[in-house]
Chains A and B, each alone.
Chain A
């Protein structure tokens, strides 16, 4: 059974594309056939996060306007052959695709792939309506900051109005030290506020930035807390019962080691 999942957030900059890239690679590492669709037309980035920016020949707009077949537009991942990307156009705008186009496309891809992940643009305008049209499940990405949580609530409301009732939450960029000192909301706080099933909490991790710099999502990196968190989310998407991780605290000793460069991270 294949599943179409849209990754959305409302607010920009909370990590939708990063989440899409990591879940896509993570699912492919587990042997699943995965296709990622970038619907952030005009602001495409998923190609860059996956290191595929130099391989793009055609895009989503070419496909929906019938210039090329889907298969021709898909870009195969260098390392994981069962992972494909359908990039979007960097020059057109979001009105170039409509919800009906996406529904047709998703139904077509569903036949061949185990997972279709759709990277949604920020906002609640037409681009959002298009991105969610063909999805069975929505993953809402938020951050423990007031504006991101409020926008997530708005998105959850909009999803409900569009009869997308299978909604899951990922809390990104948690800073454990701030949570410990009470200066940041934790998963339970955000659960209380949004009342949506949380399938992952991802700590703020410099490796997310450094791996994006190289175009290699962090999910396979066992030294990275965020990488581990994404692996856990992938497992939960596959129906595994994985407990939420305790974040590593950077204690005095580790800081001292770091100061003398004895520690590799």
Chain B
């Protein structure tokens, strides 16, 4: 129900959605960034950031995205609290 409402109110045609999804998936295909590699990258990022702040690991999102003609690693990492710097 919610899904179909979303579809009605989002103005994006399925052709555009197809193009976007393909551009995304092909970045991974071409760079051979397997889900395992993404998972390792995610763990490493968590480790580094955790030195400075406490983050919400369950809600964080990391993905490779196509921005114009270049590829960007986009991360959305909710910060819980900052750690006190020694």
Contacts and interface: CB of A to CB of B under 8 A. Distances in A.
Chain B CB count within 10 A is highest, among A146, A157, A179, for A146
A144 B18 CA distance: 9
Given A149-B22, A150-B22, A192-B19, A183 B29 contact: no
Interface in A106-140: none
B16 A146 contact: no
A183 B22 CA distance: 15
A245 interface: no
Instruction: Bin chain A's interface residue count.
Output: 10 to 19
B63 interface: no
Contacts of A153: 26, 29-30
Contacts of A183: 13-15
B21 interface: yes
A91 B69 CA distance: 48
Interface in A175-234: 178-179, 181-186, 189, 192-193
6 contacts: A144-B18, A150-B26, A179-B15, A182-B13, A185-B15, A185-B18
Contacts of B19: 185, 189, 192-193
A149 to B, nearest CB: 6
Q: Which 4 A-B pairs have the closest CB atoms?
A: A182-B13, A189-B19, A182-B15, A183-B14
Given A153-B29, A182-B16, A185-B15, 8 more contacts: A146-B18, A154-B29, A157-B29, A184-B15, A184-B18, A189-B18, A193-B19, A193-B22
A97 B61 CA distance: 48
B82 interface: no
Contacts of A182: 13-16
Interface in B58-79: none
A181 B13 contact: yes
A146 B13 contact: no
Contact of B15 (A154, A186, A192): A186
Nearest to A156: B30
A232 to B, nearest CB: 24
Nearest to B14: A183
A154 B23 CA distance: 13
Contacts of A154: 29
Contacts of A178: 15
A193 B20 CA distance: 9
B41 interface: no
Contacts of B21: 146
Nearest to B23: A193
B81 to A, nearest CB: 42
B53 to A, nearest CB: 38
B22 A146 contact: yes
Contacts of A192: 19, 23
